[in-house]
């Protein structure tokens, strides 16, 4: 039996433990039912009603992420995603606030795919940095944005049944009742994407969002 130096065995054990921790963070990756075959549609295989939407979405990045290729199976689903994202981009929330809603809700849903800012909604030069901080569980330096991040997480995890104090903290940070309902809209968008990613175990690509 071949033997390996002690330092290599230790390094291998550390790597295995890290991978175990990563998989535990996203249990849905191993628990997805896979009751249906995975269809990653393109412009040739998608239903006719989905193709025009896919062509429009191609304009945002030049190629389609796997999430949209899965949603294309249903013209209703991909159209709902497109419209919710477009509506959120026109909300009274600032571009960075829109991205925080998206990433914080996805993180609360333990979505393995929606881990970076969504290019369809508001763009901001620091969106990627904020998203990385949320994924790492770090506090955001801006008190207002941190209040938003906490409220989005609470709304998502508690299915909207947040305590009065949580709502008051959100409003005290300078947000409005209109903003609150826009947060709900953003969570609806993320729920659509997260649940689709969970049930189909969407393969992660470099466009994951």
**Per-residue confidence in pLDDT tens, the chain, 209 aa:** 444 455 545 554 554 444 344 445 555 554 555 556 789 999 999 999 999 999 998 887 788 999 999 999 999 999 999 999 999 999 999 999 999 999 999 999 999 898 777 776 666 777 778 888 888 999 999 999 999 999 999 999 999 999 999 999 999 999 999 999 999 999 999 999 999 999 999 998 877 75
* Cβ neighbour number for residue 66 with a 10 Å cutoff: 19
Which tokens in the block code for residue 106? 């996805």
DSSP 194-206: HHHHHHHTPPP-T
The model's pTM is 0.80
Domains of the chain: 40-209 (1.20.1290.10)
Query: ∠ CA 170-163-153 to the nearest 5 degrees?
Result: 60
**Distance in angstroms (rounded) separating the CA atoms of residues 183 and 102:** 9
Q: What is the pLDDT of residue 19?
A: 38
């Amino acid at each position: 039996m071949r033997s390996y130096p002690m330092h290599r065995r230790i390094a291998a054990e550390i790597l295995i433990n890290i991978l175990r921790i990563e998989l535990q963070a996203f249990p849905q990756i191993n628990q997805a039912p896979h009751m249906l075959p995975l269809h990653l549609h393109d412009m040739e295989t998608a239903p006719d009603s989905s193709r025009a939407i896919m062509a429009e979405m191609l304009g945002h990045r030049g190629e389609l992420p796997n999430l949209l290729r899965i949603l294309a199976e249903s013209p209703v689903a991909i159209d709902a995603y497109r419209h919710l994202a477009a509506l959120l981009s026109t909300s009274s929330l600032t571009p960075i606030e829109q991205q925080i809603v998206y990433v914080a809700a996805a993180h609360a849903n333990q979505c393995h795919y929606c881990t970076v800012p969504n290019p369809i909604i508001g763009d901001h030069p620091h969106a990627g940095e904020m998203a990385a901080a949320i994924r790492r569980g770090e506090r955001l330096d801006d008190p207002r944005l941190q209040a938003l991040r906490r409220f989005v997480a609470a709304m998502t995890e508690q299915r909207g049944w947040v305590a009065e104090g949580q709502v008051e903290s959100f409003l005290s940070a300078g947000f409005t009742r209109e903003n609150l309902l826009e947060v709900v809209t953003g969570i609806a968008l993320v729920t659509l994407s997260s649940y689709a990613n969970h049930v189909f175990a969407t393969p992660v690509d470099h466009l994951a969002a």
